Amino acid sequence: MAEKEVLLKVEDLYKHFPIHKGLFSGSHEKVHAVDGISFEIYKGETLGLVGESGCGKSTTGRTILQLYRPTSGSVFFEGEDLAKLKGEALRKKRRYVQMIFQDPYASLNPRMTVGQIIGEPMEIHNTYKGAEQLKRVEELLELVGLNPAFINRYPHEFSGGQRQRIGVARALALQPKLIVCDEPISALDVSIQAQVVNLLEDLQEELGLTYLFIAHDLSMVRHISDRVAVMYLGVIVELADRNELYATPIHPYTKALLSAVPFPDPFIEETRKRIILEGDVPSPVNPPSGCRFRTRCQYAKEICAEEKPEFREVLPGHFAACHFSDELK
C-alpha cells in the first residue's frame, strides 16, 4: 500500500433498532447497535473488525452494504454516499460491494443448485447469460477450489468448508471491489478454517480485492488484517496498524481483550499475566454515559462518566478513544 487510495469511508454512522414491546405499547427504547463510528478502508487492504458478541460489528458490516439503512451518517464508496442512494442506483452500486456470511448452513438456498446460487447475481445484474454464465460459474468454482463438475449439486451435498467456498464464489460472481466477510470462518473446524483463510488471501492477491474482515477470533484477525479496529458496545475504541495494535495497545479494553486470548503454547501460558475484566458487557439499550467501557475499566475516573472520549489519533495512524490515551500509550 504505497499510495493509499480510500475505497470506503464511513462517517459518523449510527444504527439504532427500536424495541417493539407490544402492538400498542409504543415503546421509545432502542438498541444502540452502532453509535457513531468513522473509519476508512484503503484499496487493496484488509481491515479487521473485532469485538465481542453484541458490540455491533456485524451491524456495521450490514449497514455498509445498506442491508440495514443507517439511522444517520454516511457510507462513501468510491466517493458516492450509499446511504443516500435508492432503488436502481443502489442496486447498481451494490455489485461492487459483496458479502460472505457467517453460517454456511443458513446462507445458501437448499432448493437451488450450486450453479443457480452462483449464477443468480449474474442473472440479477444482467452480466452473463446462458452458456457464458455457465462458463463463468465453472471458472468461479475452480477459482475457489471446487470441482466444476459439482455445478448441478445441491448445498446439502457439501461439507461446511465447501459450502463456505460456494459462498465465496457467489460473492465473487460480480467482480466486486470490496467484500465484507462477516465471521466467515467461525462456524468451521480449525483445520478447515485455515483452508478458507488461505483461499481468501490467495483471491485477494489474484484479484486485488479489499476486505472488511469481521471476526471475534483475535489471532485470526491479526493474521489476515493489515489494520485492525476494535469495537465495544457500538463504538470503535481503537484502530491501528495490526502489528502496532497487538504489540502496544492503548485502550484499556483492547489491552484486556488481547490478554484474554489463550496462546497455544504452555511455556508462554505458564508465566502470562492476564487482565481479567470484571462483570459483563452493559446492555446496548441504556449504554453507560460518557465512555462506554468505564463500568469495567480499572483506570476509570470521574471524567469518564461525564464526557465521551474523543476518537483521536494518539500516535501516527493509531487512533483510540480514551481520556487517558496519552498516559496509557
For residue 270, the minimal CB distance to another protein (Å) is 7
**CB of 142 or CB of 307, closer to another protein:** 142
- In the bound state with another protein, the residue whose beta carbon lies nearer, of 96 and 150, is 150
Hey, which residues does 96 pair with through a beta bridge?
none
Least spacing, CB of residue 145 vs another protein, in Å? 10
| Residues 320, 312 contacting (CB under 8 angstroms) | yes
For the CB of residue 297, give the shortest distance to another protein in the complex, in Å. 12
CB of 8 to another protein, least distance (A): 24
Q: How far is CA 317 from the centre of its chain?
A: 20
- Nearer CB in complex with another protein: 173/257: 257
CB of 89 to another protein, least distance (A): 39
Integer CA distances (angstroms), 231 to 70, 155, 203, in order: 17, 34, 27
At residue 180, φ and ψ (nearest 5 deg) are: -90, 115
Distance CA 164, CA 106 (A): 11
Contacts of 129 (CB under 8 A, 6+ apart): 122, 123
Q: List interacting residues with another protein (CB under 8 A).
A: 52-53, 159, 161, 189-195, 197-198, 201, 216, 218-220, 222-223, 243, 246, 256-270, 272, 274, 276-277, 280-281
Q: Say how many C-beta atoms besides its own lie within 10 A of residue 20's C-beta.
A: 10
Distance (Å) of CA 25 to CA 19, 28, 51, 71, 128? 10, 9, 33, 22, 50
Q: Which is nearer to another protein, 43 or 222 (CB)?
A: 222
Nearer to another protein, 1 or 268 (CB): 268
Nearer to another protein, 124 or 275 (CB): 275
Shortest distance, CB of residue 69 to another protein, whole angstroms? Answer: 28
Q: How far is the CB of 238 from another protein (least distance, A)?
A: 15
CB of 121 to another protein, least distance (A): 27
Q: Cell 469511508 maps to which residue?
A: 9
Q: Which is nearer to another protein, 48 or 70 (CB)?
A: 48
Closest listed residue to residue 35, CA positions, set 53, 16, 9: 16
Burial of 327 (0-12, 13-18, 19+ CB in 10 A): exposed
Q: Which residues pair with 16 in a beta bridge?
A: 32
Work out how close the CB of 253 gets to another protein at its nearest, in angstroms, rounded to a whole number: 9
Q: Are 313 and 38 in contact (CB under 8 A)?
A: no
Nearer to another protein, 69 or 272 (CB): 272
H/E element, 217: none
CA distance 125 to 288: 45
H/E stretch holding 185 reads none
CB 203 within 8 A of CB 179: no
Kindly tell me which of 24 and 267 has the beta carbon lying closer to another protein: 267
DSSP H or E stretch at residue 34: strand 30-42
